[in-house]
Amino acid sequence: MVPPPLVFAPVVAAGAHHAVGFSPLLRRGTSRLSLAATSMPPRRASLRVAAAVSAAVAPPSGDDRPPLPKRRARSVRAPAAAAAADAAADAVEAAAPAAAAATPPVADGRTCCRWLSGAKAVEVAYHDTEWGRPPRAVLPPPPPGVSMTAAVDRHLFEMITLEGAQAGLSWSTILAKRDGYRAAFAHFDPVAVAAMTAADEAALVAGPPTIVRHKGKVASTVNNAAAFAAVADEYGSFDAYLHDFFCGPNASTDYPPAAAISATGAQPPASTPASSRLAADLKRRGFRFFGPTTAYAFMQAVGVVNDHDIECHCWAAAEAAVKAWRTGGGGGVRDS
């Protein structure tokens, strides 16, 4: 069940560790890249800025291109008065990110992650029911003929695809197209997607805007499906590969616990040595559109790390699910 929409209390202080997130673009008519990351999973601000610049050079076509921000008209008054007015407006814009990153939003007695301030309903539902949790903790019973192991792997492949598709776009845009992605890519059955032809890819790029119609991203999904299936064949499942990668002899210890992050006010990094190692290993295995920052976003999404604010009402459940997987296998593991 989708939780009721949250009505957030006004933010009142600055300095939160999730001041900047990874997902977005220029939101709600703002004219600064620095304002783009106030309502999205708290990762990878630097990549979003770079992606936004890249998108400006070669923007997605048609309905996939995010709306351009409205530019504030410069004053035509006397130079001194115009400069003063523009400086004052610039100061207001510069202060906005700090205000948006203040204390965690609270509604209906629930304290939420800071990145949910101003979030859309689809993002709130995703945060409350899925983000930061291993797949086995969130998936419903699979349909007849599909094992839970296969369902978990399909979920992992889905998140690899969606995180890669997000480059240059907002996370809410990707979530809004999620059903379209599932229909276009055989509900993320990697074997079926790997069998897609060049004609299938061209049809998706030329089709309706139910997915991000970017030729490179569509092609990378088909390519990654084959690479994903090969990893699953080698380890028994892609889920088992992740568990071995993060819980095996070379398990990462580079990322501090969430409690330490909250106490120090630090914000999660855009990437970590662990995500760089994961991206490098998957690149060696043939994956595309999956660099260290996208890898870390994927790790956050599927509960490899629990980056919910320690104050968030979801933190305890996510932490328990991550720890259960770490000791039992399947779904995610915490760097600690």
Catalytic site residues? 126, 163, 171
- Angle 148-165/292-301 helices, nearest 10 degrees? 140
Is-contact 190 225, C-beta < 8 A? yes
**Cβ atoms of 262 and 18 closer than 8 Å:** no
Tokens for 78? 């006397």
Q: What is the DSSP string of 180-201?
A: HHHHHTGGG-HHHHHT--HHHH
How many residues appear in the chain? Answer: 336
Could you tell me which residues are beta bridge partners of residue 107?
Answer: 110
* Residue found under tokens 């407006």: 89
Beta bridge partners of 111: 106
Nearest Cα to 307, choosing from 8, 41, 39?
41
Q: What is the largest CA-CA distance in the chain?
A: 74
Report residue 324 as tokens. Answer: 């259960």
Sign of CA dihedral 192, 197, 200, 201: positive
For the purposes of burial, counting CB atoms within 10 Å of the CB of 217, is it exposed (0-12), middle (13-18) or buried (19 or more)?
buried
> Residues 66, 271, 133, 240: is their CA dihedral positive or negative?
positive
Token pair for 260: 């330490």
CA atoms within 13 Å, Cβ hemisphere of 37: 25
Residue closest to 117 by CA, chosen among 147, 138, 148, 96: 96
Residue type, 268: P
